[in-house]
Amino acid sequence: MKWILLAIALALLITSCTGYVVHEDSVIIGANLAMTGKFAIYGINEQNAITLALEDLNEKNNKKIKLIVEDNQGEPAKAVTSMKKLIEIDDVDVLFSVFTHITKAVAPLAQNAEKILLYQSTFSEMAEENSYVFRDYYDSGESGRVLAEYALSRGDKKLVYVGEISDQCELVYQMASSVEEIVMLDKKTYDTEEKDFRTLLLKAKQHNPDAFIMCAWRHEDLIMKQMHELDMLDIQTYQLVAPMLPSSSTANPYFKLNKAVSSWYSYVKGREQGEVKAFVERYVERFGEEPLEDTVYVYDSFMFLGEAIHACGTPDADCLREYLLSREYEGLSGSIAYDAKGVANREVLLIQYGEDGWEEISRAS
């Protein structure tokens, strides 16, 4: 009986000292993903990427890393419920989420629980405001800056901004406008539910701009088609992540006529090289379909996390935090270096639609 009581006392002591229940030989990752609903294609790809990373990590490390996935259906309220379950019932060690609207809802829960949360979003605010939250993704503001600088290098100095009303697109506008020598003639914004952009486009054209800079990633299929109908495709467009949604493929004929330029990230699909190409081939062989470009980022983020877990020997959040903040990781898709606030800005690619589709034209840090 004494030995039983001693064992219980030691277990309680370990829990009280570390702030979490120790999983003796394993670390548990809790992924809060959209496995169903309109964002399911992303959730499935992210789960697959984590699966590949954990297989590689578990092959070479003694401490096994396990995965629990909760479906938030792409809805913030459901994401909060899922996060509470992962923290309070599953007692996971590390958390993962995707999308700005989801991560904004769940980041405070991870912070209050003192658990590391990795996330993918173009918005860095959640990491900046929470010490246990880390963002590894491309940045919308930096994309705006790079697009404006590239436009300027091509002699397109006078721009009209066209974009949806959102936090991400506001950052694109602010950073593009801040580039020295850029003249922003006007700012045309629209609600995300809008379908008819013809009046807005005609008003933008009245300024006689050198080009449009656009944050219209959800609407390129409609906007580019309507620009064609208005005989406006001779106005150069510089776009934020134009090929991101599957629906954007219907705009390809108009991108081609316009010779559209877009910010991009990770790699250009169909033009993979080296280790990225090998990863894509492995993914296709394993899951029977091509991955989204985001999956390489997810894989790299978890390989870096695995390195931190191995170095710390435990999933202690403070140890993991210190390791991630003090190291740089060279992944398949480039380097990950978190700043003092836990923000990693991935390299911005610029792509242009040519005769054979999207082609990379430059990279900028």
- Residue 364 has a pLDDT of 60
Q: Is the pLDDT of residue 97 over 60?
A: yes
- Residue 163 has a pLDDT of 97
Other beta carbons less than 10 A from residue 325's beta carbon:
16
- Residue 362 has a pLDDT of 77
| Whether the domain at 2-138+274-346 and the domain at 140-264 fall into the same CATH topology | yes
- Residue 24 has a pLDDT of 56
Reduced to 3 states (helix: H, G, I; strand: E, B; else coil), residue 168 is helix
pLDDT tens per residue across span 286-306: 999 999 999 999 999 999 999
- Going by pLDDT thresholds of 50, 70 and 90, the confidence category of residue 62 is confident
What does pLDDT average to over the chain? 91
Identify which of 218, 188, 190 has the alpha carbon closest to the alpha carbon of residue 205: 188
pLDDT tens per residue across span 4-55: 444 434 343 333 333 334 445 789 999 999 999 989 999 999 999 999 999 9
What residues contact 112, with CB distance under 8 A and at least 6 apart?
none
Phi and psi angles of residue 20, each rounded to the nearest 5 degrees, phi first: -150, 165
pLDDT tens per residue across span 216-274: 999 999 999 999 999 999 999 999 999 988 888 999 999 999 999 999 999 998 889 99
Structure tokens at 142: 């930096």
- Going by pLDDT thresholds of 50, 70 and 90, the confidence category of residue 337 is very high
> Is residue 348 within 8 Å of 143, Cβ to Cβ?
yes
- The secondary structure element, H or E, covering residue 61 is none
- Residue 63 has a pLDDT of 76
What's the CATH code, domain 140-264? 3.40.50.2300
Q: Between these two residues, 170 and 62, which has the higher pLDDT value?
A: 170
Q: Which conformational region is residue 107 in: left (phi greater than 0), alpha (psi within -120 to 50 degrees), or beta?
A: alpha
> Is residue 344 within 8 Å of 136, Cβ to Cβ?
yes
Identify which of 285, 163, 272 has the alpha carbon closest to the alpha carbon of residue 219: 163
- Residue 166 has a pLDDT of 92
> pTM for the full model?
0.86
- Residue 60 has a pLDDT of 84
**Share of residues in the chain with pLDDT > 90 (%):** 85
User: What is the CATH T-level fold of the domain 2-138+274-346, as seen in this structure?
Assistant: Rossmann fold (3.40.50)
Q: What are the domain boundaries of the chain?
A: 2-138+274-346, 140-264
> Is residue 50 within 8 Å of 65, Cβ to Cβ?
no
- Going by pLDDT thresholds of 50, 70 and 90, the confidence category of residue 184 is very high
- Residue 13 has a pLDDT of 38
